[in-house]
Structure 1
């Protein structure tokens, strides 16, 4: 029987899957288990190196894999590990919440990463020797039998006679005296370059090539991040809230604090491109084509005549030793099971920093200094007259609660979903991510990876429930904030109108006395925020509905019911009043206009509008927020939303008409007949 694992996505135990699993999704249950030969504690991640895992429990054995590319680039993993280390220090020091939100979720040590690697200095010094070995490799003579024309045959052996007798196709003619051969199997001396030393040098060349390519990719990521910082400066100038501007400027300062970054990046790129151009011709050299496979022996090379006495091979051995030492230092933990499990934990702590900073960026005000602790009630915030709490769960997931009611679970999933090029594999992973309850999945993903996907996949991997994040992508915090806003504001705004069930005789008459009340189907509906003088009239109006005790008519006093009705109406009035608070500046709306189909429209003195609209396709209500500076911007894929709107949007504007919005429930907008995006969404 397959064992049960804890599924972080659904928050429940599930049977061990028999298909490709997602790295970081499952936790080991209680009991004795061995993952890829290593005993693990209960609650550990199902993780193993080389993309495959094995699980042993008792006498049974199961195996699986994580797909082709479960982890992101090294610069991403190293930076997230650095951020997670800071979080561990804050936990140990019991630091206040403000210290947690001050941790920058960026690539660490940008200036240090722009310095030349020690391996590259040795490569430059030994490049001439490496080139000489690749172009003129040593070889040993090897005898090989080759079929050649008779005119070129200089030597025959017994194999020649045996082959000639067995292969009539090599005969020219049959004579009376015997066979006249056309071709003969002749021994020749061939230079064999598949030596121990040459296999070592060929493997060294491959590793140096991968090192240079990884360095160029890292520089491109840093350059892209710096470019995003410059774009954010322009975006910050357009933000309507001065607090948001200040947060963005501080965020950019953390990134661009290094001096002369563009010149450093350009110089570093030129150095790496020069090394790449020098190594590229060697990939097609005689040495590389002369070996039949890579060197797979121990890192410590054994002494040979070539390595000891040939100057070119001796320098290649020194370069091998430098490369091996640098790679072992960068590999970190030697045990891949522990290394990948640590990566999953590190990514969860990085996601924690992102969410805490996103809550601050949304303008939520903490009511204390308490920092999050695993398994305990987390920090509490005030938002639009409501109470928001953020909890850190035992399984490294997070819960967002509005007035003690869960509105969103956030699941950090350390699997690089868009890192693979196999669309079928990506589709399989996306299908497995369908959860029973509302979940926002945070996963490591780069913009360049998403841009290489077809449009329908781009929409699938970057939306309100799929949130790609990376320390090299400055839009990460904005898209997390947008996912949080969608959960909070949707819950707040769709709680309209506030409904109070009432069975008191004559209660319907209250709706005729107060313009903010409507009587419908045995319920009093609060449809707009009441003024203070109208609330003052509520108690006398309820007193008029009081029925005295009448023993003859067997009627009891309804004072208790009226008191409960008064409390419920005041609570409903407070709920609707909270809807009138601007989601950006926090001020009271200057206009609150109820509309048909239980919708409304609000406008603030800062010109921000928020409303409930009714979808023309699925007939469900959905919330919309419009910031004046962004009112004329059309929508697009998730990366475009990051650039244009940041977190200042709820429903996504139509791709054709900025005044229309895409329904978050069915994915259609009023412009479905002409909208490019809606053609990707099948109609039900």
Structure 2
């Protein structure tokens, strides 16, 4: 099967899959069959329920197994598919009702919250949910279920056995016949007859294997599974509320434009402050109910192996006399019906096909990218919603920056400028951090070995949570949340965790886009244009403060955006130089050089114009005096949001890279603090050490700017950076 698989991560063809492929990484390149079903190009290779995969293409056959961790978590898959369904409905729904403002398909599509619909319902306080009704039924009737399990009703079943005469209450019909044939059960004989020692007797044995008891035993199992599902859901809700609280706490210390954006993000979901106590109460009640149900696993009824567990019950129990007239069993039946309604309407046992999950996660990542564009101040007039392989979405942002969002046919999301990719976001629905580090460690080693010579900067977006990241070793924890600009040894493929249960997934994506759109311009600062030597001398003699000659005396460096008068003065000087009398043999060359200089200056000014806009609030500098050139680097300050940004030169490799110094900068305490918060306030990653707040990590060599001047405790990253570089 030579080169018949497409590797989305590396953007290249693959001849064969590894022994344990990652979910959603590889796709078919030609039509064929996947797991026995027809599949077209770019169909992901996914596992069956047993974890096996098989592919047949062009007469070739391949098969293998996925790792056990590759199968998507049921709750994660359901939430991702719910968001994808909402995106599909928004893109195809009819225009707004008469009298209301019309919304385009794109506006409806991007308005879908990137948060799980069940969590949003919880945040909005939905009270008629069947889950709430079941919880109320558990509150009211759990004691009845406990009574049934501890003191079950039984059926008296007659049993015949040979027992001592003293224990005989009722003789069996064949007791005399049995006694006559078994002299060993005689005690003695007399002239009048036989005195028995043991008799064949009938006794009533209690039989718990009733239909009602079978239902009660199965209900215990069902309710334990439901409460575990409910606990996970409430813990995810609690995590979202914690994120909202953190964002709300940041409003106080942020510029007003950032406060406005974060307030919109918080207000999009609910008045979360009123829900914190309620969610904690529900979580505590759920845990207490689960503890009581787990204790029933040792109850008299549950431990009795005579109670059959093979019977399949329908959603509606059969109405028996006990379910109608016995108070305890009647309430158990009501509890069963409440659970059955939840199973039917909520889908507790609903499973998502891996292929559907992969396709849905692709759409989720596309939504994150589109929302991040809005966060960075980009606007579009496109009416159509983004689709895989569909039309491009054009955005215009600060500094008249025009970028294009494109969803490739393989599901990856590309953002480009001037037909050159700025960033490629590759959805990888494999839970890399869900069960420890094995999958992540092997994947990171592979990425670091093949990091260079990609067609564009790449970021792999995978489902991962903060709790999973905190459980990883420090080195892997840092590698599992990076846009690729803080890696020892140079830029590499980034890894960004994003799930429908964490509200800051958009901010993580914003951090990646912020770096992609600014880093390319900052790396070329100051922009240089080729200039004829005699014209260069004239400009130097004129004393233009925003221009300087390079050391090779062949190029002109543009150090800051010019004023209108300065720009007109340069045009006039170039025009006069163009009009100079020169020999006819050089006249054409002279005119071409002047035109080329004007075009190069215009292109360089476009880059300077983008750098002269605040990356945090998007405002343009009010005056060229706010843009300060400093020996190949610059520092600019925004009068509106009081943030500073610019470039720094690495002391190890000499590379210039962009940084942001927020006006309200707080002490950095660790990796999570270095990259947390609003994504548009981070460019180069700050040093992890709290004692050094003005040092940044070079994106080219990965060296920390404070490693040589640090006087306090060692940064937890810096001692390991040499080891990371050696491993490669």
Q: TM-score, normalised by structure 2?
A: 0.75
How many equivalent residue pairs? 626
Structure-1 residue corresponding to 2:249:
234
Aligned in 2, Cα 1:525/1:481: closer, same or farther, shift over 3 Å?
A: same
Contact 1:651/1:662 (8 A) holds in 2: yes
Aligned in 2, Cα 1:665/1:638: closer, same or farther, shift over 3 Å?
A: farther
Aligned in 2, Cα 1:56/1:3: closer, same or farther, shift over 3 Å?
A: farther
Structure-2 residue corresponding to 1:262:
276
2:288 aligned residue (255, 274, 278): 274
Distance 2:264 2:51 in 1: 42
Structure-2 residue corresponding to 1:655:
688
Aligned-partner SS, 1:448: helix
Aligned in 2, Cα 1:616/1:300: closer, same or farther, shift over 3 Å?
A: same
2:120 aligned residue (88, 104, 108): 108
Q: Kindly report which structure 2 residues correspond to 1:423-438, keeping only aligned pairs within 5 A, or say none.
A: 423-433=437-447, 436=454, 437-438=456-457
Aligned-partner SS, 2:404: strand
Structure-1 residue corresponding to 2:65:
64
Structure-2 residue corresponding to 1:17:
17
Distance 1:17 1:453 in 2: 27
Structure-2 residue corresponding to 1:30:
30
Structure-1 residue corresponding to 2:405:
390
- TM-aligned CA deviation for residue 121 of structure 1: 5.5
Aligned-partner SS, 1:366: coil
Distance 2:67 2:562 in 1: 57
- TM-aligned CA deviation for residue 658 of structure 1: 0.8
Contact 2:518/2:611 (8 A) holds in 1: no
Q: Kindly report which structure 2 residues correspond to 1:141-290, keeping only aligned pairs within 5 A, or say none.
A: 205-240=220-255, 242-257=256-271, 260-285=274-299
2:565 aligned residue (505, 512, 533): 533
Q: 1:415-440 deviations in whole A, cap 9, x for unaligned?
A: 222221x3223312434555544212
Q: Kindly report which structure 2 residues correspond to 1:158-557, keeping only aligned pairs within 5 A, or say none.
A: 205-240=220-255, 242-257=256-271, 260-285=274-299, 326-327=342-343, 330-331=346-347, 339-366=353-380, 369=383, 371-374=385-388, 375-420=390-435, 422-433=436-447, 436=454, 437-464=456-483, 465-502=494-531, 504=532, 506-513=534-541, 514-515=544-545, 516-521=547-552, 522-542=554-574, 543-544=576-577, 548=581, 550=583
Aligned in 2, Cα 1:354/1:574: closer, same or farther, shift over 3 Å?
A: closer
2:702 aligned residue (667, 670, 673): 667
Structure-1 residue corresponding to 2:170:
none
- TM-aligned CA deviation for residue 613 of structure 1: 0.9
- TM-aligned CA deviation for residue 239 of structure 1: 1.8
Aligned in 2, Cα 1:287/1:206: closer, same or farther, shift over 3 Å?
A: same
Contact 2:371/2:506 (8 A) holds in 1: yes
Contact 2:411/2:427 (8 A) holds in 1: yes
Aligned in 2, Cα 1:103/1:682: closer, same or farther, shift over 3 Å?
A: same
Aligned-partner SS, 1:544: helix
- TM-aligned CA deviation for residue 360 of structure 1: 1.3
Q: Does 1:4 align with 2:7?
A: no
Contact 2:686/2:694 (8 A) holds in 1: yes
Structure 1 unmatched ranges of 5 or more = 142-190
The range that moved more, 65-74 or 374-383, is 65-74
- TM-aligned CA deviation for residue 260 of structure 1: 4.2
Distance 1:494 1:573 in 2: 15
Distance 2:264 2:582 in 1: 67
Structure 2 unmatched ranges of 5 or more = 95-103, 159-205, 484-493, 709-713
Aligned in 2, Cα 1:126/1:382: closer, same or farther, shift over 3 Å?
A: closer
Distance 1:292 1:9 in 2: 55
The range that moved more, 532-541 or 118-127, is 118-127
Aligned in 2, Cα 1:258/1:592: closer, same or farther, shift over 3 Å?
A: closer
Aligned in 2, Cα 1:549/1:84: closer, same or farther, shift over 3 Å?
A: same
Q: TM-score, normalised by structure 1?
A: 0.79
Contact 2:213/2:307 (8 A) holds in 1: no
- TM-aligned CA deviation for residue 224 of structure 1: 2.5
- TM-aligned CA deviation for residue 87 of structure 1: 1.3
Q: Does 1:638 align with 2:638?
A: no
Aligned in 2, Cα 1:64/1:296: closer, same or farther, shift over 3 Å?
A: farther
Contact 1:198/1:291 (8 A) holds in 2: no
Distance 1:417 1:314 in 2: 47
Structure-1 residue corresponding to 2:717:
677
Aligned-partner SS, 1:71: coil
Contact 2:684/2:696 (8 A) holds in 1: yes
Q: 1:301-343 deviations in whole A, cap 9, x for unaligned?
A: 999x999999899998997787577446555997x6x722222
The range that moved more, 490-499 or 206-215, is 206-215
The range that moved more, 519-528 or 220-229, is 519-528
Distance 1:44 1:306 in 2: 55
Aligned in 2, Cα 1:243/1:370: closer, same or farther, shift over 3 Å?
A: farther
1:601 aligned residue (635, 644, 654): 635
Q: Does 1:612 align with 2:647?
A: yes
Distance 1:124 1:592 in 2: 66
Structure-2 residue corresponding to 1:572:
604
